[in-house]
Structure 1
Amino acid sequence: MKKILQINTTVGYASPGKIANDIGDLILASGNESYIAYGRQPESKSNSSVIRIGDNLDIYTHVLSTRLFDDHCFSSKKATKKLVSKIKEIKPDLIQIHNLHGYYINIEVLFGYLKNVDIPVVWTFHDAWAITGHCTHFEHVGCNKWLTECHTCPQTNNYPNSILLDRSRQNFRDKKRLFNYPNNLTIVTPSTWLANLVRQSFLKNHEVKVIPNGVSQEIFKPRNNPQLQKTLNLKNKFVVLGVCSVWDKGKGFYDFIALAEMLSSDYAIVMVGVTKKQVEMLPSNIIAIPRTSNAEELAELYTLADVYVNLTYADTFPTTNLEALSCGTPIITYKTGGSIESVTEHTGLVIEQGNLDQAVNAIGKIKNLGKIHYKEHCLTMASDKFNKQKQYLEYIKLYQPLMGN
């Protein structure tokens, strides 16, 4: 029996937290022991043994330090030393890292420990934070400083926000030094796009493997709810759906508002995940739905929609695309990061970032062909490539030779 420890910001919350939980379940199913160390209070139950890193006060202190000094992931020293003590107690045969950013861990302490132990490390990059001096995404601002050395960061006011200092050059140098410590490091990315970036970065000498994310197709499947159409007053409307956990400019919030003005009364836009404040900003032909934690209800909305539109400007491999496919709904996405990797000519259309005329034309094309033209292709692609059980078994297969199995 082997012991596998995962580290992530959360357990069961947001895509990386859900992935950690799902991998943990497969670790247990394979007859091994699963541990998940996390930084924030879990939003859902876990079958794995969970370990809290630090506490809320530690998080607030970390946030403050980041805001003032741009030293994200260099606070939480005491909490990380306690984690290291716990790792020594557990003696894991493998460590799986997910997101380290999120105001809860000290990378100097963690990687200082990993440097001196013979434990294989698998690190899944859910964004590009590990290879930059500050940001999680850079393509939307056209910044390529990460290829040589970050400095004078154009995104210090974006997550993880710093309002006082720009430490991007030192952060870059520190990450380059620390993240190359583990000799037995394997990097996993959910998209080929991100894998190609990593292979150009200061981590290019490590093995990089692509394992696309998956979703539960027991939950995300065609779920017809005729009452939903009546409740939302969508009869005889071509339904355009947008889904996001946190809507902002980078996720296309204002693009949806502009798009609503360009579509005729034959269309209705449904936006899921908007806040009360954002609802007040939306025109009358956009139906606003708050963020829902009920996956079945979300699947009903995907099923009701005629097309799922993803107007994101920065994304690694959006899970919402996979959820839409699994419900038989075609996708229109901006040509952004790994978002295009779940779209083929049979499952939707890719358009240029910010080109709303192309968005209107693409929506019209799908309307003319009908959702039925795409549905079976979407379901087949989802089943073949993005089934949660199949995808996360790839992690178990990856772990086995690394642990000497």
Structure 2
Amino acid sequence: MKVLQVNTVCGTGSTGRIAADIHKMLIEQGHESIVAYGRGTAHNCDNTIKIGNNLDFYRHALKTRILDEHGFGSKNATRKFLERVKNYNPDIIHLHNVHGYYINIELLFNFLREYNKPIVWTLHDCWAFTGHCSYFDFANCYKWETHCQKCPEKKSYPKSTFLDNSYDNFEKKKELFTGLKNMTLVTPSQWLANLVKRSFLKEYPVKVINNGIDLNVFKPTPSDFRKKYDLENKFIILGVASPWTRRKGLEYFIELSKMLSDKEAIILVGLSKKGIKDLPKNIVGITRTNSPKELAEIYTASDIYFNPTLEDNFPTTNLEALACGTPVITFNTGGSIETIDSSTGYIVEKGDLQEVKQIIQRTEKEGKDKYSKHCITRANNYYDKNKKFLEYIELYEKLGKEVQI
């Protein structure tokens, strides 16, 4: 079986690591595999196709900023890429993010319609069925259920500074993305699967495959982290994001810091150096770490993980915290609430910091040990990346057999 995956990045970021891990598993099982990507440098992947170059990226970004026509740039880069696809002649094409300033969706989907082989499309956000945004929770906008127009999220990713083209984008996406004979959609959360069924993509079968993590790395990992930051006698509340955008909820950590006692401290990972300088005294800021082991040490050293996300699909940071034995507090947002149960964490309504404070105090009295075993068990049972990505290969094989029949 020959598989081609297409994503914005390869081997970096959550989606890039997923693509690289599936590639590795395919090769180990004796299949052929290529990952095509548009940005940065490929990591942990030995057979790739780079789509376009930096100039293509900047032109596409400029088209987005001025005309709000994201997904409709990169024509020459896409034509060259599709010629390579024809030469490779894959049995399965697996799309991940097709947004990110690197590929022309009109050329891509017209090709896929003619190619007429099985397509798997993993939706990592909501961009595929809206006229502009990747998430709409913050704006509480549900125009996508009927027809996008006058987008309240025009200045969110993929940002448009001038025009609002959400009406035409919606029309074009609906025309391009529907009517393919052999496409299966995958979502990491049931929440997103339910949204798909309310969108113009409802004609397609949808399979839920949760994100997975590397349990050989994310596990209880002792370290001198507390001593290094002079936090040996503190109750640590951890937050992790990269970058800390509006939807990740940084402002709630700032507000929470005003409500804590001297016995409690906040650790935030993934901040810029400038962002660290602006933090209150009881928040320790750490820049982004590219070391999963170091991140596992921080999760392990913390007493509770707080994810005040306002818009999210199935955040892997929740899974990483659980695997390290750390319970999770999350806002009632998207698929984030699907990552935990009553023995591994707490779900609170968006912005309810009084309840967050009460949960912190309760956990402080009970002790982290009450939760740790349950957290680790849940991660091992449900979020092992090897088991999760095997589900993709099983899906490829199933679709391949259906075509042969």
TM-score (ref. length: structure 1): 0.98
What is the aligned partner in structure 2 of residue 8 from structure 1?
7
Aligned to 1:245, which of 242, 247, 261? 242
C-alpha distance in structure 2 between counterparts of 1:52 and 1:182, whole Å? 26
Alpha-carbon contact 2:329-2:348 (below 8 Å) kept: yes
Matched to 1:12, the amino acid is G
Bigger shift: residues 38-47 or 268-277: 38-47
Matched to 1:253, the amino acid is L
C-alpha distance in structure 2 between counterparts of 1:365 and 1:322, whole Å? 22
Matched to 1:114, the amino acid is L
What is the aligned partner in structure 1 of residue 351 from structure 2?
354
Bigger shift: residues 177-186 or 60-69: 177-186
Alpha-carbon contact 2:42-2:48 (below 8 Å) kept: no
C-alpha distance in structure 2 between counterparts of 1:309 and 1:282, whole Å? 17
Identity %: 49
RMSD of equivalent CA atoms = 0.9
Cα deviation, residue 364, structure 1: 1.4
Matched to 1:29, the amino acid is E
Bigger shift: residues 55-64 or 274-283: 274-283
Cα deviation, residue 367, structure 1: 1.4
C-alpha distance in structure 2 between counterparts of 1:326 and 1:90, whole Å? 39
Q: Write the mapping of 1:13-28 to structure 2, written as runs, cut at 5 A.
A: 13-28=12-27
> Which whole-Å deviations, capped at 9, do the CAs of 1:61-99 have from their partners, x for residues lacking one?
000010000000100011111111011000000000000
Cα deviation, residue 43, structure 1: 5.1
Gaps of at least 5 residues in structure 2 are none
C-alpha distance in structure 1 between counterparts of 2:245 and 2:37, whole Å? 26
The answer to whether residue 290 in structure 2 is matched with residue 300 in structure 1 is no
What is the aligned partner in structure 2 of residue 160 from structure 1?
158
Count of residues paired in the alignment: 402
Alpha-carbon contact 1:111-1:181 (below 8 Å) kept: no
What secondary structure, in the 3-state scheme, does the structure 2 residue paired with 1:5 have? strand
Aligned to 1:84, which of 74, 82, 85? 82
Over 3 Å counting, the alpha-carbon distance change for 1:52 and 1:120 in structure 2 is: same
C-alpha distance in structure 2 between counterparts of 1:249 and 1:282, whole Å? 16
C-alpha distance in structure 2 between counterparts of 1:204 and 1:181, whole Å? 11
What is the aligned partner in structure 2 of residue 51 from structure 1?
49
The answer to whether residue 403 in structure 2 is matched with residue 402 in structure 1 is no
C-alpha distance in structure 2 between counterparts of 1:51 and 1:74, whole Å? 20
C-alpha distance in structure 2 between counterparts of 1:249 and 1:261, whole Å? 20
Cα deviation, residue 281, structure 1: 1.7
What secondary structure, in the 3-state scheme, does the structure 1 residue paired with 2:5 have? strand
Q: Write the mapping of 1:117-156 to structure 2, written as runs, cut at 5 A.
A: 117-156=115-154
Cα deviation, residue 235, structure 1: 1.1
C-alpha distance in structure 1 between counterparts of 2:325 and 2:140, whole Å? 34
Matched to 2:206, the amino acid is V
> Which whole-Å deviations, capped at 9, do the CAs of 1:291-344 have from their partners, x for residues lacking one?
000000000000000000001100000010000011010000000000000111
What secondary structure, in the 3-state scheme, does the structure 1 residue paired with 2:336 have? helix
What is the aligned partner in structure 2 of residue 32 from structure 1?
31
Aligned to 1:191, which of 189, 198, 205? 189
C-alpha distance in structure 2 between counterparts of 1:12 and 1:255, whole Å? 31
Matched to 1:127, the amino acid is D
Cα deviation, residue 45, structure 1: 2.9
Q: Write the mapping of 1:59-98 to structure 2, written as runs, cut at 5 A.
A: 59-98=57-96
Aligned to 2:330, which of 324, 328, 333? 333
What secondary structure, in the 3-state scheme, does the structure 2 residue paired with 1:119 have? coil
What secondary structure, in the 3-state scheme, does the structure 2 residue paired with 1:339 have? helix
C-alpha distance in structure 1 between counterparts of 2:25 and 2:241, whole Å? 28
Matched to 1:136, the amino acid is S
What is the aligned partner in structure 1 of residue 315 from structure 2?
318
C-alpha distance in structure 1 between counterparts of 2:331 and 2:383, whole Å? 20
What secondary structure, in the 3-state scheme, does the structure 2 residue paired with 1:309 have? strand
Over 3 Å counting, the alpha-carbon distance change for 1:68 and 1:292 in structure 2 is: same
C-alpha distance in structure 1 between counterparts of 2:176 and 2:202, whole Å? 14
Matched to 2:51, the amino acid is I
C-alpha distance in structure 2 between counterparts of 1:172 and 1:256, whole Å? 36
Runs of 4 or more consecutive aligned structure 1 residues displaced over 6 Å after TM superposition: none
Cα deviation, residue 250, structure 1: 1.6
